[in-house]
Chain A
Amino acid sequence: MIFNKNLKNIFLVIFTTLILSACSTAKKSGNIDGDVYTGKETVKYLASGVPDRVFFATNKSSLTTASRATLRKQATYLRKNKKLNVTIEGHADERGTREYNLALGERRANAAKDYLMTYGISGKRISTISYGKEKPVNPASSALAWSQNRRSVTVKVN
């Protein structure tokens, strides 16, 4: 059994390596999966171990497994700090029309809000605001920058 498990792991490693080596430059950095940012470069923390933001794929507002894990940490943190209210800022990358991006940012902020609510955080404690493409965290015009800019960020209000 143990041998089998090890073998499985080895295969997994080989498989992952194959995928990575076959991928574009963006993925070589190891910070983008699909086109969702997975790195830590721009991330800030609400508290130790509680990242403030989650990232999205182009034109999408669905939460990835990693995003859901981050938001569960935020929910735990908010449950412990009952007097704390937050604003969730929704953002888009610069590669879309301004008005659609405002709507997309709104949808992303609300995707994060809804998830926090399913983990017991009252909607009254969470406001949302969309900035569309207006406030890039990374001003570069590159796939990496765009993936870092497609985000929703939870910000403490009080």
Chain B
Amino acid sequence: MKKIFFSLVVYLISINSLYALIEVDITRGNLDPLPIAVSPLHVDIKSVEYEGVKVKELGSNISAIIEKNFKNTGLFNPLKKEAFVQKPDIAHLKPRFEDWRLIKAQALVTGKLLVKDGKLKVEFRLWDLTAAKEMTALAFTTTPSNWRRVAHIISDKIYERLTGEEGYFDTRIIYVSEEGPKSERVKKLAIMDQDGANTKYLTLGNELVLTPRFNPTNQMITYLSYFRNMPRVYLLDIETGKQEVVGNFPGMTFAPRFSPDGKKIIMSFAEDGNSDIYTMDLETRVVERITNHSSIDTSPSFSPDGKYIAFNSDRSGLQQLYVMRSDGSNVKRITFGKGIYGTPVWSPRGDLIAFTKMRKGRFYIGVMRTDGSGERLLTENYYQEAPSWSPNGRVLVFYRETKAGSKGEGFSATLWSIDITGYNERKLTTKTDASDPSWSSLLSK
């Protein structure tokens, strides 16, 4: 996977933040999504062919991705192009605000692009139609094959301008691709853009792989592999494809995650049947034992400041969630509700912990404050688990399995996402069955 540089990011054409402009409130479920018109980007007639890119259609292909991103948030209602009242190039210069208001649009996105000398130059503007003002504008240059990322970056900038929060469109999801009958699943590590495009497989399926997670710079992945039938935590460099075992443990290591600075891996190590939590520093290779208890301690997750660790333990008899300091001191149980709890994952904003709850044969994905108060269950199903946060802490991705018949028929594993408001639950498109998703941070930050 090539590292991608966006040169010349950003010259602001003009910005009017002094006016009271439209705003989208994302803190509650949005039942009245903002009507937005995304005009196809105008393709400059001086554009030349570029191998592998349909230059003539690039403008409408980019706007289609932006529309899909917006629609998927549940916060925006992209309007149908048939109703559009102005040609893209003219609208980009100066929209006739009153005409766009007639089709009930409140915001308008316009833009133009030029493909020349092996480069793609893109410029876009976001207009507030009610106030008849330009809200933001941006221009940048990249290689034409990056056009999908261009669409995602534009989406992020507009989302940020309208909601006041960072976007999450220029991101990837790593997951476990699953194929074959239920009792003989072939599992591979797979990576895709958050919208399901550009799927690539990182392992061949020769050995069982589970629970991949990104490091903070999205270049490394830690995961569990049964290579040579020895379940161990591995590290994979996405660019070079280089893999290595993490540490030299005499037994199973599992449930890995990176520390927020990316320098350590935290995981469980099972010794004589008992699982405790350890960290290993990737540079010094120093291994530290964090918990020492005769119960199962697993699924550790650091707080974003690195000071605390949330984890799963059955020291009370059944699976519950605990929080401790990162040195293992001051262990506190945080779940006391009815049912049992697993997979605590600290929000990138630091304020919430996402979890899986099991009660009376049903599975829930929920969030609670880091002291265990304010529990909110977002979704209930036959089987679902393993939430992972969008980088802005507003959306969770998780996987779901269906009930199988007597021969395993009817079984499926799929990825889903839901806003932490509990609204906007939707299935993600994957090429195969999928589980264990992990969301990257923003790629261009």
B316-344 contacts to A, CB under 8 A, are 318-319, 342-343
Query: Would you call A135 an interface residue if the criterion is a C-beta within 8 Å of the partner chain's C-beta atoms?
Result: yes
Q: Which chain B residues in 205-251 approach chain A with CB under 8 Å?
A: 208, 210-211, 224, 229-231, 251
How distant is the Cα of A131 from the Cα of B318 in the complex, in angstroms? 20
Q: Which residues on the A side are within 8 Å of B403 (C-beta)?
A: 141
The 3 A-B pairs of least Cβ separation, nearest first, read: A110-B273, A139-B408, A97-B342
Whether B208 and A130, one on each chain, are in contact in the complex, defined by CB atoms closer than 8 angstroms, is no
B52 located at the interface, meaning its Cβ lies under 8 Å from any Cβ of chain A in the complex: no
Give the residues in chain A near B298, CB-CB below 8 Å: 99-100, 102-103
Determine if A130 and B406 form an interchain contact, defined as CB atoms under 8 angstroms apart: no
Q: Residues on B close to A: CB < 8 A?
A: 181-183, 185, 208, 210-211, 224, 229-231, 251-252, 254-255, 268, 270, 272-275, 296, 298-299, 312, 314, 318-319, 342-343, 356, 358, 361, 383, 385-386, 401, 403-408, 411, 435-436
Answer yes or no: A98 CB below 8 A from chain B CBs.
yes
- Can you list 7 contacts pairing A with B, beta carbon distance less than 8 Å? A94-B401, A96-B319, A99-B254, A106-B270, A130-B270, A138-B183, A140-B404
Residues of chain B with a CB closer than 8 A to A102's CB:
210, 224, 231, 252, 254-255, 268, 298
Interface residues of A in 127-143 (CB under 8 A from B): 128-131, 134-142
Known: A134-B208, A136-B182, A136-B183. A99 touches B299 (CB 8 A): yes
In the complex, what residues of A have CB within 8 A of residue B274's CB? 107, 110
Tell yes or no: A38 within 8 A of B by CB: no
What 1/0 flags go to A75-116 for Cβ under 8 Å of B? 000000000000000000011111110111011011101100
Whether B404 and A98, one on each chain, are in contact in the complex, defined by CB atoms closer than 8 angstroms, is no
Measured between alpha carbons, how far is A142 from B383 in the docked complex, in Å?
13
B96 to chain A, nearest CB (A): 56
Interface size class of A (residues with CB under 8 A): 20 to 34
A107 touches B383 (CB 8 A): no
A142–B182 Cα gap in the complex (Å)? 14
Give the B-binding residues of A (Cβ under 8 A).
59, 61, 94-100, 102-104, 106-107, 109-111, 113-114, 128-131, 134-142
Please, how many angstroms separate the alpha-carbon atoms of A113 and B361 in the complex?
31
Q: How far is the CA of A52 from the CA of B358 in the complex (A)?
A: 31
Q: Give the CA-CA distance A104 to B182 in the complex, in Å.
A: 20
What separation, in Å, do the CA atoms of A104 and B191 have in the docked complex?
Answer: 29
Residues of A near B436 (CB, < 8 A) are 98
In the bound complex, CA of A104 to CA of B436 (Å) = 19
Query: By the criterion CB–CB under 8 Å, are A142 and B406 in contact?
Result: yes
Point out the residue from A97, A111, A130, A136 that lies within 8 Å of B356, measured CB to CB. A97
**Of the candidates A97, A131, A139, which one forms a contact with B385 in the assembled complex, judged by CB atoms under 8 Å apart?**
A97
State how many angstroms separate the Cβ of A59 from the closest Cβ of chain B. 7
Instruction: Give complex CA distance A36, B76 in Å.
Output: 52
**A134 nearest in chain B by CB position:** B208
Q: Are the CB atoms of A135 and B183 closer together than 8 Å? A: yes
Q: A106, B275: Cβ atoms under 8 Å?
A: yes
| Given A135-B183, A136-B183, A140-B406: A94 in contact with B275 (beta carbons within 8 A) | no
CB proximity of B273 to chain A, nearest CB, Å: 3
Contact partners of B435 in chain A: CB under 8 A: 98
In the assembled complex, how far is the CB of residue A6 from the closest CB belonging to chain B, in whole angstroms?
42
Partner of A106, one of B208, B273, B343, B407: B273
B273 touches A94 (CB 8 A): no
Q: How far is the CB of A53 from chain B (nearest CB, A)?
A: 15
- Chain B CB count within 10 A is highest, among A95, A114, A136, A139, for A139
Instruction: Tell me, in angstroms, the Cα distance from A98 to B319 when the chains sit together.
Output: 13
Shortest CB-to-CB span from A46 to chain B, Å, is 20
Are A98 and B386 also in contact (CB < 8 A) when A110-B272, A136-B182 are? yes
| Residues of chain A within 8 A of B356, CB atoms compared | 97
B residues within 8 A CB of A59? 314, 318-319
Q: When chains A and B are docked, how far (Å) is the Cα of A104 from the Cα of B268?
A: 12
- Do B404 and A128 touch across chains, with their CB atoms under 8 A apart? no
Using Cβ atoms and an 8 Å threshold, which residues of chain A touch B268?
A: 99, 102-103
Nearest Cβ distance between residue A80 and chain B, in whole angstroms? Answer: 26
Asked whether B404 lies within 8 Å of A106 as measured between CB atoms, the reply is: no
Cα–Cα distance between A141 and B403 once the two chains are bound (Å): 6
* Bound-complex Cα distance A134 to B208 (A): 9
User: Would you give the shortest CB distance from B209 to chain A, in whole angstroms?
Assistant: 10
Do the beta carbons of B408 and A140 come within 8 Å of each other?
yes
Inter-chain CA distance A138–B407, complex, in Å, is 8
Which residue, A94, A99, A142, has most C-beta atoms of chain B within 10 A? A99
Nearest CB of chain A from residue B59's CB, rounded to whole Å:
44
CB–CB B296/A139 < 8 A: no
Residues from chain B with a CB closer than 8 A to the CB of A110 are: 272-274
* Given known contacts A95-B358, A100-B319, A129 and B183 CB-to-CB distance under 8 angstroms: no
How far is A21 from B111 in the complex, measured between Cα atoms in Å?
Answer: 74
CB contacts (< 8 Å) of A140 on chain B: these are 404-408
> A113 CA to B406 CA in the complex, in Å?
32
